């Protein structure tokens, strides 16, 4: 793929890079409203206080993407991800209009993966069928647990019956690809309950599971009012037992918290982890674009009303900056080392615009500590390093430069 001539901002963020080609391009769309904010959530999510301003927000999204178009002119889009918040609060008609208008402005590849996050408590048969008819071909269901006491402790708006009904209707509605989101390390959870959650999800044979530990993130209710969670030893027992159960069911772990049958991996998230490019539109969305002068990071206004006002005026970007050489190396490793397969040396050079000497000496040191495996083609974390990624990445943290 070659670049079309563009006008670029002056590059001021450290060592410049020259790129002759661009990585695959994805599109992330943030729909920020939910019924109520979960106590563990640190995303840019806002409880809806009344009817959603669907038409105004849709207009803002389209103005937002139009403002970004000159940066990606002529590049095809491989995947689309509708995240939130709770995107399934939007009507199927709005989702259909959104996808149709996006196709009119961007070149989506034939068979492009189009994922929508959905809360089981917002779904019924008509909505699910409507989302599928709108063009969504992959559904990510935020189930979190198949135990009602755990769902209540997490502040979820659905119960187990609603979760099961949503999965069954989604599969019957023609979604060929469904992800089930599950958490472990929940209040009151032991090994048996954690495995029961996995077994319940595996019954549906959807081909993809996200299974990740509940963490107490800053600026959340759980951080200020922490629940009683399993202790470290029990958490380790849950984790090890879960890995065995998933492997026995034929689900290959391909990323820190992602498990899939071969061929069912999430292509959108793989593009993130392989340091691909993505446009980010919507309140608080982030983007990363490889341009001839370097790698540009963009962020959009977070507060929904402010975003709609600014985006409708063609000015949704609240921050943009070029990544320095250290930042490019760090961000590449931050993502690529999350993959069980790791990365190739060619990928590092192509995606960062840097020589291997930018990271090889420190990777050699990590290999001596037993944290990474280095080969002639590339690198990957060892099983021990996979569980200690922060320890590896500490050596690559960018050094702050004086203002």
Q: What is the pLDDT of residue 18?
A: 67
Q: What is the structure's pLDDT at 224?
A: 92
Under a CB-based contact definition with an 8 Å cutoff, are residues 329 and 393 in contact?
no
* Maximum CA extent, the chain: 59
Q: What is the pLDDT of residue 398?
A: 86
Among the listed residues 377, 382, 389, the one whose alpha carbon sits nearest the alpha carbon of residue 367: 382
- The position carrying tokens 């709108």 is 134
- What is the per-residue pLDDT for 365? 96
Phi/psi at 173 (5° precision): -85, -5
- State residue 340's pLDDT score: 96
Q: What is the pLDDT of residue 65?
A: 98
Q: What is the pLDDT of residue 176?
A: 86
Long-range contacts of 148-153 (CB under 8 A, 24+ apart): 149/188, 150/186, 150/187, 150/188, 150/189, 150/193, 153/186, 153/187, 153/188, 153/227
- Would you say 167 and 206 are in contact if contact means Cβ atoms under 8 Å apart? yes
Which residues in the chain land under pLDDT 50? Answer: 1-15, 401-403
| Domain edges within the chain | 25-271, 325-397
CA quadruple 335, 339, 342, 346: dihedral sign:
negative
Question: Token pair for residue 18?
Answer: 């020259």
CB count within 10 Å of CB 81 equals 25
What per-residue confidence (pLDDT) applies to 4? 32
Dihedral class, residue 185 (left if φ above 0, else alpha if ψ from -120 to 50, else beta) = left
- Exposure string of 131-145, with b = 16+ CB inside 10 Å and e = fewer, is bbebbbbbbbbbbbb
Q: Looking at the domain covering 25-271, what would its CATH class be?
A: alpha beta
pLDDT at 399: 65
Domain 25-271 shares a fold with domain 325-397:
no
Instruction: Return the pLDDT at 19.
Output: 77
List, for residues 144-193, the tens digit of each pLDDT value.
999 999 999 999 999 999 999 999 999 999 998 999 999 999 999 999 99
Closest by alpha carbon to 334, among 278, 272, 292, 280? 272
Would you say the pTM of this structure is higher than 0.75? yes
pLDDT at 24: 97
**Number of other residues whose CB lies within 10 A of the CB of residue 9:** 11
Q: What is the CATH number of domain 325-397?
A: 1.10.10.920
Contact indicator for 267, 77 with CB cutoff of 8 Å:
no
Whole-number Å distance between alpha carbons of 334 and 165: 37
Cβ atoms of 323 and 334 within 8 Å: the answer is: no
Query: Which pLDDT value is given to residue 12?
Result: 38
Give residues with Cβ within 8 angstroms of 89, minimum separation 6.
31, 33, 34, 35, 48, 52, 119, 122
């Amino acid at each position: 793929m070659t670049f079309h001539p563009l006008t670029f901002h002056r590059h001021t963020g450290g060592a410049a890079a020259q790129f002759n080609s661009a990585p695959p391009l994805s599109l992330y769309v943030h729909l920020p409203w939910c019924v109520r904010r979960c106590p563990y959530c640190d995303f840019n999510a806002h409880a809806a206080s009344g009817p959603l301003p669907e038409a105004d927000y849709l207009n803002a999204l389209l103005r937002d993407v139009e403002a970004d178009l000159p940066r990606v002119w002529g590049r095809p889009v491989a995947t689309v991800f509708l995240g939130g918040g709770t995107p399934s609060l939007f009507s199927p008609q709005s989702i259909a209009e959104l996808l149709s208008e996006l196709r009119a402005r961007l070149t989506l590849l034939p068979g492009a993966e189009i994922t929508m996050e959905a809360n089981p408590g917002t779904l019924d048969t008509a909505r699910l069928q409507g989302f599928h008819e709108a063009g969504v071909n992959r559904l990510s269901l935020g189930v979190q647990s198949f135990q009602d006491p755990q769902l209540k402790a997490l502040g979820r708006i659905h119960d187990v019956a609603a979760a099961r009904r949503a999965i069954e209707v989604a599969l019957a509605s023609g979604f060929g690809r469904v992800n089930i989101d599950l958490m472990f390390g929940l209040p009151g959870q032991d090994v048996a309950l954690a495995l029961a959650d996995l077994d319940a999800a595996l019954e549906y044979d959807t081909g993809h599971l996200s299974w990740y530990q509940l963490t107490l993130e800053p600026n959340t209710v759980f951080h200020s009012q922490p629940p009683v969670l399993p202790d470290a030893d029990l958490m380790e027992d849950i984790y090890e037992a879960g890995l065995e159960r998933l492997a026995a069911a034929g689900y290959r772990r391909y990323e820190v918290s992602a498990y899939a049958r071969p061929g069912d991996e999430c292509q959108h998230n793989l593009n993130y982890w392989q340091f691909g490019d993505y446009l980010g539109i919507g309140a608080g969305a982030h983007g990363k674009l490889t341009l001839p002068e370097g790698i540009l990071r963009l962020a959009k206004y977070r507060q929904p009303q402010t975003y709609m006002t600014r985006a409708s005026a063609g000015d949704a970007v609240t921050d943009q900056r070029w990544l320095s050489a250290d930042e490019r190396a760090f961000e590449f490793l931050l993502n690529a080392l999350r993959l069980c397969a790791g990365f190739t040396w060619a990928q590092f050079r192509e995606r960062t615009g840097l020589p291997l000497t930018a990271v090889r000496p420190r990777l050699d040191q990590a290999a001596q500590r037993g944290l990474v495996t280095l080969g002639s083609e590339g690198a990957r974390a060892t099983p021990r390093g996979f569980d200690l990624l922060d320890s590896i990445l500490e050596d690559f943290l960018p050094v702050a430069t004086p203002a």
